[in-house]
Amino acid sequence: MRQNITEKIISAHAGKDVKAGEVVFVDVDWALVQDGTGPLTMDVINDMGKGVNNPSKNCIFLDHASPSSKFELSDSHNKLRENAEKYGMDLNEVGYGICHQVMAEEKVRPGQLVVGADSHTCTAGAFGAFASGFGSTDIAVAMATDRIWLKVPPAIKVEFTGKLHRPSTAKDVILSLIGKLSARGATYKSLEFTAEAPSSLSMESRLTICNMVIEAGAKNGIMEADGRTLEYLKYERPQEDAKDYNLYRSDPEVDYEEVISIDLSGITPQVALPHSVDNVKPVSDIDEAIKIDQAFIGTCTGGRIEDLKTAAEVLNGKKIKKGVRLIVTPASARIYKRALKEGLLEIFMESGAMIGTPGCGPCAGIQGGILGSGERCISAANRNFKGRMGCTDSYIYLASPSTVAASALDGVITAAG
């Protein structure tokens, strides 16, 4: 039976060969929750009264309110700490990092099956793993039993040809793809990415692309692991042995529902206009001056070291526009330390930016950097739904970290030169 990579990974975890459309139970390698979805997951686990099957597979992250902005959230954090202690589950404290980034740095291996009570769990597909987001109850059952049921998704293949040219980055690639597919163009499906020159895409870029497949409704995004993946893993986790990784490849001549070809050399800086992520335009097509009040570099989409580096290059030695607030929030403590060592944080501070605690920052309107009425924010995040950053009457524009930085300097939306 010819299978694509997603079908192969699901087969390996179902204990039988599967194809798209089948409903199967699969073994789970990792199950994660965060501070917004986790408390409900713990309630369900406790109600079921069976405990958890293998606590070492379960990860809890205190990242959305990092640090907590309300006493109710502090109480939720304590509830998660208590349950982690009770069941012996891994708890990642406030300030340690966004769940998806920490999973990438420390946990996910090629060929694994990852489920999480957070929609951007799909990020981990960048390692050649199957990763998908679910709700609290599904993850409670996954944590309790190490299993979850799912329908094997049909796949759309996205082939990248050519190479990206500066200042365009992975964020521009995925924004332009979502613009083409629409916010529901890949609902229930797998988006499988291949590249003519795979090594040209850094792991950071792959994580950004897989992170946003949910914005087109997809169940998972996936890229085969290659030399670049192994290099990244060796650097981030020298203690692991590459022999333990399962490197799956799609069989040649498998059928895809659709094949989309994207020439990376033709990608220019993109922006998603309010209030929908598929409302995408090249920055060069914006003919009015869109004045911004806030600029935000961070999140599980745009807060990695490569993102901070490209932003710092743009900001180096310059000052942000008076009246604009620039918030930079490294996605994890590891990234924070590297940015500090490499002098990036100093560049940000000198430009007039402020640095946030590793975590989700103002991405979901929970803390630090909530917009005011009528305000406009350009953000390196993944969502610009109405009200997303805490105020119904505000406007979010999504772009790459370098476009965000350039816009902070100009005070209006503009791409880096």
Partner 1 sequence: MKEKLTGRVHRFGDNISTDLICPGKYFHLRSNIPELAKHTLEDADREFTKKMMPGDFVVAGENFGCGSSREHAPIIIKEVGAGAVLAKSFARIFFRNAINIGFLVMECNTDDLNDGDELIIKPSEGIIKDITAGKDIKSAPLMNKMLDILNAGGFKEYVMKTS
- Under rule CB under 8 A, which residues in 250-309 are in contact with partner 1? 276
The answer to whether residue 235 forms part of the interface with partner 1 (CB under 8 A) is no
The answer to whether residue 366 forms part of the interface with partner 1 (CB under 8 A) is yes
Would you call 103 helix, strand, or coil by DSSP? Answer: helix
- Minimum CB distance to partner 1, residue 324 (Å): 23
105: Cβ contacts below 8 Å, ≥ 6 apart: 97, 236, 237, 332, 334
**Could you say which of ligand SF4, partner 1, none residue 300 binds, taking C-beta under 5 to 8 angstroms by partner kind?**
ligand SF4
- Minimum CB distance to ligand SF4, residue 322 (Å): 28
Per DSSP, what are the bridge partners of residue 221? 191
The answer to whether residue 383 forms part of the interface with partner 1 (CB under 8 A) is yes
The answer to whether residue 70 forms part of the interface with partner 1 (CB under 8 A) is yes
**Could you say which of ligand SF4, partner 1, none residue 299 binds, taking C-beta under 5 to 8 angstroms by partner kind?**
ligand SF4
Q: Work out the angle at residue 304's Cα, subtended by the Cα atoms of residues 297 and 96, and round it to the nearest 5 degrees.
A: 95
List contacts with ligand SF4 (CB under 6 A): 64, 98, 118, 120, 299-300, 360, 363-364, 381-382
Closer residue to ligand SF4 in complex, CB, 228/385: 385
197: Cβ contacts below 8 Å, ≥ 6 apart: 163
**Could you say which of partner 1, ligand SF4, none residue 98 binds, taking C-beta under 5 to 8 angstroms by partner kind?**
ligand SF4
- Minimum CB distance to ligand SF4, residue 211 (Å): 8
340: Cβ contacts below 8 Å, ≥ 6 apart: none
189: Cβ contacts below 8 Å, ≥ 6 apart: 153, 154, 155, 156, 217, 218, 219, 257
Using CB under 8 A, which of 72, 236, 255, 263 touches partner 1?
Answer: 72
Nearest to 115 by CA among 207, 16, 209, 220: 220
Per DSSP, what are the bridge partners of residue 262? 160
The first and second tokens of residue 241, run together, are 């042995």
- Minimum CB distance to partner 1, residue 92 (Å): 18
Closer residue to partner 1 in complex, CB, 95/217: 217
- Under rule CB under 8 A, which residues in 170-229 are in contact with partner 1? 183-184, 187-188, 217, 219
Whether the CB-CB separation of 122 and 209 falls below 8 Å is answered with no
Distance CA 248, CA 251 (A): 9
Residue type, 168: S
Site residues (CB under 8 A) for partner 1? 23, 36-37, 39-40, 44, 47-48, 50, 64-65, 69-70, 72-73, 75-76, 79, 116-119, 121, 133-138, 140-141, 144-145, 149, 151, 183-184, 187-188, 217, 219, 276, 364-366, 370, 383, 385-392
